[in-house]
Amino acid sequence: MILMTLNIEQTFKAIADPTRRAIIGLLAEKERAAGDVARRFAISRPAIAKHLKILREGGIVVTRRDGRERFNRLNPEGLKMIFDWIAHYERFWDEKLLSLKKAAEKGKEG
């Protein structure tokens, strides 16, 4: 577990950028060295380092050092904060879909 206080704004900031979302996808497959992540994008290594930093600050990525190398892995708990926030609004979608179903069924009867 991450020993820092995260807020939802940091987490949403972390997933707001398409490059960071692509990095999340890579790290969902397996832990990767920072250099391995950088090689997969057509942007500079320092730019990838900044993206990884924002992902760490958002609680979505955890980094460990092994000698001079930094390895990054996905932290599912960071994404859970977003899931929980969205799930709170799920009931609105359920209500809208139920209304649509009732309207469609009413249309079939009439």
Go through the domains of the chain in sequence order and give each one's CATH number.
8-109 (1.10.10.10)
pLDDT for 88 equals 84
Dist CA 76 CA 74 (whole Å): 6
pLDDT reading at 94 higher than 50: yes
Q: What is the pLDDT of residues 38-72, one digit of tens each?
A: 999 999 999 999 999 999 999 999 999 999 999 99
Could you read off the pLDDT of 52-61 as tens digits, one per residue? 999 999 999 9
Reading across the β-sheet that carries 69-74, which strands appear in turn?
32-33, 69-74, 61-66
DSSP helix/strand/coil, 62:
strand
pLDDT band (50, 70, 90) for residue 3? very low
Angle at which helix 8-16 crosses helix 76-88, to 10 degrees, equals 100
How does the average pLDDT of the chain come out, rounded? 88
24 and 39 in contact (C-beta within 8 Å)?
Answer: no
Instruction: Please give the share of the chain, as a percent, with pLDDT higher than 90.
Output: 62
